[in-house]
Amino acid sequence: MTSKTIFAWPLAATLALVGVPAIAQDSMENTATTTGQTVDGFDRDSHFDGFYIQGAGGIGLLGKNNGTFGFDTNRDGTYGDTVNTALGANAFSTGFANCGAYAPTRGSSCSTDKTGAEYAIRIGLDKRMGDVVIGGLIEGSRNESIDRSTAYSTTPAFYRIDRKLDYAVSARARLGFTPGGGALFYGTGGVSYGKIKHDFTTSNTANSFTENRDGDMVWGWQAGGGTEIMLSNNLSLGLEYLYSRYDDDKYTVAVGPGTAPATNPFLLNGGGTNLRLEDNRFDTHAVRAVVGLRF
């Protein structure tokens, strides 16, 4: 998927958020009965007020990542060190790639990032005060998109990390406006706690590699907006855009001796090196269709 396509999704969603409810609103107003609030059997005074359960599904897009790795050669917790050979040359001068390598030489086969589905289920509560709606929700979600990064050493060898949002539990507030109860336009934001699944692979068979799985569970935040229309007094349909950012700064891979000699670049400065992705933020964009049942 090209960058133009990626940025077109939020734009298309925004246009849909504005256009679809407006059409529905005009249609309901044109068929209004003399009661002013009951339209074709719809009780608009009761719309967007009370408990609801919703399911959402759509496409998940990844934020920008240059694929660069960071190294901590003396394991002091500070990344940004250079892994040097015994002769003082940069062992990773070959560079990095925002893709998942299958071969040790850069320029060989490499799998690009995957754009996948995102889906969620949530429960929430709205309180309507005239044309203003305030509320909150709790949501469980999953994103199938995969971010892939590779570091290439001069050995040659590749070191690859794939990551995806395995699941997340989020709590968000909502603030919306419903002109006459026909459609709801809202903004939303809050906190999220997610499991980022990491997979490490390498063509290096000399060193040992130990993943720090404590870094899989991370905190983040979310923000977005959307719209909802009522198809009946209880059934709703909507469209939503949601941006999520997680602090993916705890996952590391410890490189040890294995069968490698003491002159191995990973071992020269104290017997081992830790590596991780330099981009320690995991960002996703999601455009979702939402179906809900209100009580």
Residue 216 pLDDT:
85
- Other Cβ atoms closer than 10 A to 130: 8
Task: Evaluate if residue 21 carries a pLDDT over 60.
Answer: no
Binning pLDDT at 50, 70 and 90, where does residue 41 land? low
Residue 36 pLDDT:
46
- Other Cβ atoms closer than 10 A to 270: 10
**Those residues with Cβ within 8 angstroms of residue 87's Cβ, 6 or more apart along the chain or in another chain:** none
Q: Per-residue pLDDT averaged across 159-178, rounded?
A: 96
Residue 40 pLDDT:
53
Question: What is the DSSP pairing of strand 50-62 with strand 116-129?
Answer: antiparallel
Residue 197 pLDDT:
94
Cβ–Cβ under 8 Å, residues 256 and 208: yes
Between 20 and 185, name the one with better pLDDT: 185
Spatial distance between the Cα atoms of 104 and 14, rounded to a whole number of angstroms: 43
Residue 38 pLDDT:
56
**Those residues with Cβ within 8 angstroms of residue 187's Cβ, 6 or more apart along the chain or in another chain:** 174, 175, 176, 223, 224, 225
Residue 14 pLDDT:
42
Q: Per-residue pLDDT averaged across 168-184, rounded?
A: 94
Tell me the three state secondary structure of residue 208. strand
pLDDT tens, position by position, 234-290: 999 999 999 999 999 889 999 999 999 999 999 998 789 999 999 889 999 999 999
Q: What is the mean pLDDT of the chain?
A: 87
Q: Per-residue pLDDT averaged across 167-181, rounded?
A: 95
Spatial distance between the Cα atoms of 165 and 63, rounded to a whole number of angstroms: 13
Q: Per-residue pLDDT averaged across 15-19, rounded?
A: 45
Structure tokens at 216: 């899989």
**Those residues with Cβ within 8 angstroms of residue 24's Cβ, 6 or more apart along the chain or in another chain:** 182, 183, 229
3-state helix, strand, coil in the chain (%, to 5): 15, 55, 35
Residue 15 pLDDT:
44
Residue 214 pLDDT:
77
Q: Per-residue pLDDT averaged across 34-41, rounded?
A: 50
pLDDT tens, position by position, 191-246: 999 999 999 999 999 999 999 987 789 999 999 999 999 999 899 999 999 999 99
Residue ranges covered by each domain of the chain: 3-294
In the chain, the largest separation of any two C-alpha atoms, in whole Å, equals: 88
Q: Per-residue pLDDT averaged across 148-171, rounded?
A: 96
Q: Which fold has domain 3-294?
A: Porin (2.40.160)
Cβ–Cβ under 8 Å, residues 229 and 185: no
**Bridge partners of 17?**
none
Spatial distance between the Cα atoms of 275 and 92, rounded to a whole number of angstroms: 12
Between 35 and 204, name the one with better pLDDT: 204
pLDDT tens, position by position, 54-66: 999 999 999 888 8
Tell me the three state secondary structure of residue 267. coil
pLDDT tens, position by position, 94-129: 999 999 999 999 988 999 999 999 999 999 999 999
Spatial distance between the Cα atoms of 147 and 162, rounded to a whole number of angstroms: 6
Task: Evaluate if residue 181 carries a pLDDT over 90.
Answer: no
Residue 64 pLDDT:
82
Task: Evaluate if residue 23 carries a pLDDT over 70.
Answer: no
Using the CB atoms, write b or e for 78-111: b if 16+ within 10 Å: ebebebbbeeeeebbebebbbbbbeebebeeebe
